[in-house]
Amino acid sequence: MVPLVASRAVPMSRDDLPGVPDPELLDPRRPGARGAYERFADSIDREALDWLFDRAMQRPIQPEGYVESRTRFFGPSGAPSPAPHRGASAAEVLRIFRERVAPMTFNAQHPGAFSYFTPPPLAMSVGGEVLAQWLQQGVDVWHAGPVGAFVEEEVTRWLRDLVGLPDGWAVLTSGGVMANLMALTVARERHLGALLDRPPRGAALDGARVYASDQTHFSVARGLDVLGFPEGSLHVVPSDDRYRLQTEAVADAIAADRAAGLMPFAISAVAGSTNTGSVDDVVGLAALARREQVWMHVDAAYGGAARLSARDAARVPGLDLADSVTIDPHKWFFQAYDIGALVVRRREDLHTTFHRSPEYYASSTPEDAPLNWYEYSIEGTRRFRALKLWMSWQHLGTEGLGGLIEHNVDLAAYLASVVDAADDFDLACAPELSVVCFRHLPIRSDGWPVDRLNVYENALQRALEVDGTAWVSVTTLRGNTYLRAGIVNYLATRSEVDALVSALRRLSEGVLEDLYRG
Ligand SMILES: Cc1ncc(COP(=O)(O)O)c(C=O)c1O
């Protein structure tokens, strides 16, 4: 390979660094450092793979509950100890990792882990993350991470294409919460500001209204709080019997608010809700948004990934009709944490909202107009998040990623069909994507008050956690507690689903005994 520039002599190592264990790991110029770095990298890999092949495959989560876990991690004091004054060798640090950290993880790679949206990361994604951290590209101002800026530009182009906004713009975020906050910020600055014809700040925000369903992620309400909107600015519209926000209900809410002198300015729909994976009527809501001249945001943090599958893309229609779309590759693109994204229809919306010009970010060649990502984000220095997704996408292609999505959608349909067909289970609703909410109905539970069944479902979830066959979370839907299987796990098969259902039945009797005894 022809080097771009003539290589320079490696500078001498310095000998005035503080005396620490493994000094060669502080300075790659030291004699023998390359070997030391290689041994170190090998030992990290070995540690990770021992964890993956031994620990993570055994059970989804350790059996201890929170209080016991604290004691196990912190020791009898149950509280963090002070920072070490003296360093320890790398081998010793890894031993401490092995003893204190490795046994206490949530194991997303376990095939029975049906968790929140906590996927097993693809090996290529982990590899990309490791490389990104070595490269230490600061993706804020172009000079701090020149190639990081370009990789992000390329991978966000892929996300824009996926969403159907190829002429828009997108920026990577820490996750869906940050993307939703940034979307609301843009909507406030660009849209509400124009409607009000004065700066959207302070008292000017009184009476502004955003419409979202009772299934909307908490980050939308919190985002409005953070942005200074007064209480009540989020108009929560009830979802339908399948937990979807319907256009008519929002149209009625907007009409009532306008009649009351309020100012509707945005709709925030969800395409793949956290509770059930429900998909709002995005197409109808986008048409309403156009008619009413309000901003249209779609939180597709989880569901947006369905666009990867030609077969399942139509499950999340209408993203191309939005002004802004949240999409979170660390959910259903099986990416290592963290990586989220916000896609917008107009590049200048992000730029006008977030651009500032600190003197220390000036370029000596401003005529080049380098791409400074901090101008498009709330965040400043950001990790080189793009690399892992860029590498994973190259590795599997849209087709391969889409195949993993289809596998999860099929598995969710299978679980739903099994519980729906059984007398001793109750399915909350048919899954639209890959989340299944259901309850076990133990023998003689007919006529139980709601509270009692809720207590039972919680106890059953905990019993499953201790048992270790599989893991599901619990959630509340209209006052009822449900077990929630978030199937964002490409390692799971029907046999883990069958094992989950059998385990719940098997554990039921013991749970009932405990409850009656208690
Ligand atoms: C629909 C939806 N939006 C936003 C978020 C927030 O994403 P994150 O926790 O990655 O910031 C979640 C998380 O589960 C979600 O399900």
Burial of 192 (0-12, 13-18, 19+ CB in 10 A): buried
Going from the Cα of 233 to the center of ligand 1, the distance in angstroms, rounded, reads: 21
Return the best residue to mutate from 115, 116, 219, 270 for the ligand 1 pocket (most ligand atoms within 8 A of CB): 219
Q: What is the mean pLDDT of residues 361-373?
A: 89
CA distance 329 to 156: 11
The DSSP 8-state label assigned to residue 53 in this structure reads I
Least confident of 19-28, 38-47, 457-466: 19-28
Q: Where are the domains of the chain?
A: 34-107, 128-395
CA distance 25 to 78: 33
Confidence band, pLDDT 50/70/90 cuts, at residue 327:
very high
Residue 365 is predicted with a pLDDT of: 87
CA distance 201 to 189: 9
Going from the Cα of 301 to the center of ligand 1, the distance in angstroms, rounded, reads: 6
Residue 84 is predicted with a pLDDT of: 95
Query: 476 and 482 in contact (C-beta within 8 Å)?
Result: yes
Query: 152 and 385 in contact (C-beta within 8 Å)?
Result: yes
CA distance 96 to 14: 30
Tokens found for residue 40:
């170190």
Q: What is the mean pLDDT of residues 394-402?
A: 98
Residue ranges with strand state E in 300-450: 324-327, 340-344, 425-427, 435-440
Query: 492 and 411 in contact (C-beta within 8 Å)?
Result: yes
Q: Is the CB of 328 under 6 A from ligand 1?
A: yes
Residue 13 is predicted with a pLDDT of: 66
Residue 363 is predicted with a pLDDT of: 85
Going from the Cα of 114 to the center of ligand 1, the distance in angstroms, rounded, reads: 16
**Residues forming a β-bridge with 268:** 297
Each residue's pLDDT tens digit, 420-448: 999 999 999 999 999 999 999 998 899 89
CB atoms within 10 A of CB 204: 16
Going from the Cα of 434 to the center of ligand 1, the distance in angstroms, rounded, reads: 15
Which residue in the block uniquely carries the two structure tokens 């041994």?
39
Max CA-CA distance within the chain?
81
Task: Tell which residue, 56, 60, 54, has the closest CA to residue 499.
Answer: 60
Q: What is the mean pLDDT of residues 349-367?
A: 91
Q: What is the mean pLDDT of residues 69-94?
A: 95
Residue 10 is predicted with a pLDDT of: 56
pLDDT higher than 80, residue 5: no
- Nearest Cα residue to atom 14 of ligand 1: 274
Which residue in the block uniquely carries the two structure tokens 């289809």?
406
Residue 478 is predicted with a pLDDT of: 97
Residue 12 is predicted with a pLDDT of: 63
Q: What is the mean pLDDT of residues 242-270?
A: 98
Task: Tell which residue, 28, 178, 122, has the closest CA to residue 400.
Answer: 122
Which residue in the block uniquely carries the two structure tokens 């893991």?
471
Q: Is the CB of 145 under 6 A from ligand 1?
A: no
Residue % of the chain over a pLDDT of 90? 89
Q: What's the mean per-residue pLDDT of the chain?
A: 95
Return the best residue to mutate from 115, 217, 335 for the ligand 1 pocket (most ligand atoms within 8 A of CB): 217
CA distance 230 to 318: 30
Q: Is 342 helix (H, G, I), strand (E, B) or coil?
A: strand
| The model's pTM | 0.96
Confidence band, pLDDT 50/70/90 cuts, at residue 360:
confident
Residue 66 is predicted with a pLDDT of: 95
CA distance 311 to 391: 24
Alpha carbon distances (Å) from 303 to 144, 161, 281, 409: 33, 16, 13, 11
Tokens found for residue 21:
């264990």
Residue 4 is predicted with a pLDDT of: 54
Which residue in the block uniquely carries the two structure tokens 């997704």?
389
Residue ranges with strand state E in 185-271: 208-213, 234-237, 263-270
Range 128-395: architecture per CATH: 3-Layer(aba) Sandwich (3.40)
Each residue's pLDDT tens digit, 273-285: 999 999 999 999 9
Q: Is 263 helix (H, G, I), strand (E, B) or coil?
A: strand
